[in-house]
C-alpha cells in the first residue's frame, strides 16, 4: 500500500480492497475443495482435538472428507451417510449455531488498520430482507468497544432544564418501540465511481443491512429532560476509542430517532454498539452512533471531524456538500451477481434488494438488456418504510450475453439514477469522486458462458 497517498483511508484502499476481495474469493474456492485437518488454525486447539476424534469415529465416511473445519458461527459435527438411520445431536442448553455447510461471512476491506475499518455483508447469500446479526456490516473508527452494561451510562444534557444520566436498567424502564430498518454506510460503493472495481455484490453493495431495532425514542428522553427554546442540533457521542460524534438536526431527533438496546430479538451485538446505539432512520450509517454515551443539545452543529473532513461530498467546483444525511433510493440484484455462474440456459430467478431512506419502495424495474427495456418486479411483502425490500423477476436466459440492472422508485417519486446521470450532476473529483452517496443503478454482465461480472454500463 502506498502510504504516501494523500487520501490513504479512501482512495488507495481502492486497490487494496480489491486485493482483499480476491483473496476472500480464493479462500472460498479453496474451502470448497477437500482439505486436510492440518490446515486448521493453531489458535483453535479444541477444534483440532474434536477433528481428531471425529476422524477416528467416522473411519472414512465420505462426508467427513468434504468439510474439515467449521465456518465461523458453526460447529463441526459428524455427518452420517443417512441421517434417518441414526439419532441426531442431543438437545442441550446453549446458544444455537448455523449449519457447518454455510460459510457466508463478512469480508473486511483492507484499510491501513483493522481498528478503523469496515466489513461487508455477504448480500450474494442473502434471502428475504433481514440480515443475520452476525452478518450485519460494520464500520468502526477505533475497533469494537467492549462495554460492561452495568457500568454504562447515557447522559442527556446541554440545552435542557434537567440534565439526566441513565443506567442501562433505567433506559430499559422507559416505554419501548421496535422498527425494522436498513442502515447503510454512505461510503457504500465508493470504489465504483470511476470504474467497476470490486467483483461481488458484497464488495459493491455490502455496507447495507437490515435489522429489527428495539429501544426508546429520543422524544421520550428529551421530554423527560425538558428541552429549552432555541434547540437546533443534538450531538451524539460514542464511548469507543474514537469517541465518535455526529450532530443530528433536533427536529429529526424528535421525529423518529431512538436509542436501541435490542437487535433482532436480543441485545444489540458488540460490533453494532452494545449496549446502546442511536438509530436515525434513513440517515447515513455514520450518524447511528454506536456505544452511545451522550446526547448534548445545542443551538448549532458541533462541526465534528466526521461531519466536516469526512462524510462531506466534494464536487468538481471545490465545494463540498455537508450534512448530506439521507440515503436515497437504491437497489441491486443480489442474484445473479458478480462472480456467480449461471447453470445453463433456461429459468433463472432474478432477485435483489431495494431501499430508500426517504420512505417506502414503490416499484422496482428490472432490465436484462442493459437498460433498453424494463419490466416491473414483484415486491415481497412486507414492504416497510426505510427498510430493505425484496424484489423478484422470473427470467428465461437464452444463453446469450446480457446486462442485468434494477431500478428503484420510492414513494416520493424519486427514480434511482444511472451512474451517468449521477456523474452529470456530481462530477468526478478524483478516482472515487465525491466518495459518499453513490446510489446509481448497478450493472451485472452475463457472459455466454454464464459467468456474471461487475461492469459499468450506462
Q: Which of 183, 190, 242, 409 binds other proteins (CB under 8 A)?
A: 242
Stretch that binds other proteins, among 5-13, 65-73, 75-83, 345-353 (CB under 8 A): 5-13
Q: Which of 83, 162, 344, 347 binds other proteins (CB under 8 A)?
A: 162
Q: CB–CB of 185/329 below 8 Å?
A: no
Instruction: Provide CB contacts within 8 A for 367, sequence distance 6+.
Output: 373, 374, 375, 403, 404, 405, 406, 407
Nearer to other proteins, 22 or 398 (CB): 22
Stretch that binds other proteins, among 57-65, 78-86, 118-126, 300-308 (CB under 8 A): 300-308
Half-sphere exposure of 127 (CA within 13 A, CB side): 2
Q: Which of 138, 237, 271, 365 binds other proteins (CB under 8 A)?
A: 237
Q: Which of 309, 343, 373, 380 binds other proteins (CB under 8 A)?
A: 309
Q: Which of 164, 232, 363, 392 binds other proteins (CB under 8 A)?
A: 164
CB atoms within 10 A of CB 320: 16
To the nearest whole angstrom, how small is the minimum distance from the Cβ of residue 427 to other proteins? 5
Long-range contacts of 148-153 (CB under 8 A, 24+ apart): 149/274, 149/275, 152/239, 152/275, 152/276, 152/293, 153/293
284 contacts other proteins (rule: CB under 8 A): no
> In the structure grid, which three cell numbers stand for residue 157, read together?
444534557
146 contacts other proteins (rule: CB under 8 A): no
To the nearest whole angstrom, how small is the minimum distance from the Cβ of residue 26 to other proteins? 13
Task: Let me know if 224 is exposed, middle or buried by CB neighbors in 10 A (0-12, 13-18, 19+).
Answer: middle
Nearer to other proteins, 49 or 375 (CB): 375
To the nearest whole angstrom, how small is the minimum distance from the Cβ of residue 13 to other proteins? 12
Q: CB–CB of 294/155 below 8 Å?
A: yes
Task: Let me know if 335 is exposed, middle or buried by CB neighbors in 10 A (0-12, 13-18, 19+).
Answer: buried
Closest CA to 373 of 346, 403, 394: 403
245 contacts other proteins (rule: CB under 8 A): yes
Nearer to other proteins, 44 or 412 (CB): 412
454 contacts other proteins (rule: CB under 8 A): yes
Q: Which of 189, 196, 285, 352 binds other proteins (CB under 8 A)?
A: 196
Q: x/- site string to other proteins, residues 409 to 448, per CB under 8 A?
A: ---x-x--xx-xxxxxxxxxxxxxx---x-------x---
- Strands (E) across 112-158 are located at 117-120, 138-140, 153-158
385 contacts other proteins (rule: CB under 8 A): yes
To the nearest whole angstrom, how small is the minimum distance from the Cβ of residue 213 to other proteins? 11
Q: Which of 177, 212, 249, 392 binds other proteins (CB under 8 A)?
A: 177
Q: Which of 23, 49, 151, 165 binds other proteins (CB under 8 A)?
A: 165
Q: x/- site string to other proteins, residues 246 to 265, per CB under 8 A?
A: ----------x---------
**C-alpha–C-alpha distance, residues 138 and 115, integer Å:** 11
Binders of other proteins in range 113-132 (CB under 8 A): 113, 115-116
187 contacts other proteins (rule: CB under 8 A): no
15 contacts other proteins (rule: CB under 8 A): no
Nearer to other proteins, 137 or 233 (CB): 233
Binders of other proteins in range 316-375 (CB under 8 A): 316-326, 328, 338, 358, 360, 370-371
Instruction: Provide CB contacts within 8 A for 390, sequence distance 6+.
Output: 128, 129, 351, 352, 353, 379, 380
Bridge-based pairing state of the strands 361-367 and 346-355? unpaired
141 contacts other proteins (rule: CB under 8 A): yes
To the nearest whole angstrom, how small is the minimum distance from the Cβ of residue 445 to other proteins? 7
Q: Grid cell 436480543 — which residue?
A: 266
| H or E segment and range at residue 364 | strand 361-367
Closest CA to 445 of 433, 435, 457: 457
To the nearest whole angstrom, how small is the minimum distance from the Cβ of residue 368 to other proteins? 16
What Cα–Cα distance (Å) separates residue 51 from each residue in 27, 44, 48, 59, 385?
20, 11, 5, 12, 47
Q: Which of 37, 58, 65, 312 binds other proteins (CB under 8 A)?
A: 312
Stretch that binds other proteins, among 35-43, 44-52, 117-125, 168-176 (CB under 8 A): 168-176
**C-alpha–C-alpha distance, residues 234 and 32, integer Å:** 49
210 contacts other proteins (rule: CB under 8 A): no
Amino acid at each position: 500500500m502506498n502510504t504516501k497517498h494523500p487520501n490513504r483511508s479512501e482512495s488507495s484502499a481502492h486497490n487494496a480492497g480489491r486485493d482483499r476481495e480476491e483473496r476472500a474469493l480464493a479462500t472460498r474456492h479453496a474451502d470448497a475443495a477437500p482439505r486436510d485437518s492440518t490446515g486448521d488454525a493453531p489458535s483453535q486447539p479444541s477444534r483440532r482435538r474434536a477433528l481428531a476424534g471425529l476422524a477416528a469415529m467416522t473411519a472414512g465416511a465420505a462426508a467427513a472428507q468434504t468439510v474439515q473445519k467449521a465456518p465461523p458461527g458453526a460447529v463441526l459435527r459428524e455427518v452420517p451417510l443417512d441421517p434417518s438411520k441414526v439419532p441426531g445431536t442431543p438437545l442441550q442448553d446453549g446458544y444455537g449455531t448455523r449449519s457447518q455447510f454455510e460459510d457466508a461471512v463478512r469480508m473486511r476491506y483492507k484499510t491501513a488498520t483493522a481498528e478503523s475499518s469496515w466489513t461487508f455483508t455477504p448480500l450474494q447469500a442473502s434471502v428475504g430482507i433481514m440480515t443475520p446479526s452476525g452478518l450485519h456490516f460494520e464500520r468502526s473508527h477505533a475497533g469494537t468497544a467492549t462495554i460492561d452494561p452495568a457500568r454504562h451510562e447515557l447522559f442527556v444534557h446541554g440545552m435542557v432544564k434537567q440534565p439526566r444520566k441513565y443506567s442501562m436498567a433505567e433506559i430499559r424502564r422507559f416505554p419501548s418501540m421496535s422498527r425494522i430498518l436498513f442502515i447503510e454506510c454512505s461510503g457504500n460503493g465508493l470504489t465504483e465511481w470511476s470504474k467497476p472495481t470490486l467483483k461481488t455484490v458484497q464488495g459493491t453493495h455490502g455496507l447495507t443491512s437490515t435489522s429489527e431495532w428495539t429501544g426508546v425514542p429520543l422524544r421520550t428522553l428529551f421530554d423527560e429532560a425538558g428541552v429549552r427554546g432555541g434547540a437546533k442540533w443534538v450531538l451524539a457521542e460514542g464511548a469507543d476509542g474514537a469517541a465518535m460524534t455526529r450532530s443530528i438536526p433536533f427536529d429529526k431527533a424528535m421525529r423518529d430517532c431512538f436509542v436501541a438496546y435490542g437487535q433482532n430479538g436480543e441485545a444489540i451485538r458488540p460490533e453494532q454498539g452494545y449496549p446502546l446505539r442511536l438509530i436515525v432512520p434513513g440517515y447515513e450509517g455514520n450518524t447511528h452512533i454506536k456505544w452511545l454515551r451522550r446526547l448534548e443539545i445545542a443551538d448549532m452543529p458541533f462541526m465534528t471531524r466526521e461531519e466536516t473532513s469526512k462524510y462531506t461530498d466534494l464536487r468538481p467546483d471545490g465545494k463540498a456538500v455537508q450534512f448530506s444525511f439521507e440515503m436515497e433510493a437504491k437497489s441491486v440484484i443480489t442474484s445473479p451477481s458478480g462472480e456467480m455462474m449461471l447453470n445453463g440456459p433456461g429459468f433463472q430467478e432474478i432477485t435483489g434488494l431495494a431501499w430508500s431512506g426517504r420512505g417506502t419502495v414503490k416499484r422496482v424495474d428490472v432490465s436484462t438488456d442493459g437498460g433498453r427495456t424494463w419490466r416491473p418486479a414483484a415486491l415481497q411483502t412486507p414492504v416497510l418504510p426505510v427498510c430493505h425490500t425484496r424484489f423478484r423477476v422470473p427470467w428465461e436466459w437464452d444463453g446469450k450475453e446480457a446486462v442485468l440492472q434494477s431500478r428503484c422508485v420510492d414513494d416520493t417519486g424519486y427514480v434511482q439514477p444511472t451512474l451517468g446521470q449521477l456523474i452529470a450532476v456530481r462530477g468526478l473529483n478524483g478516482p472515487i469522486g465525491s466518495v459518499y452517496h453513490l446510489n446509481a443503478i448497478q450493472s451485472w454482465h452475463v457472459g455466454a458462458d454464464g459467468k456474471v461480472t461487475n461492469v459499468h454500463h450506462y
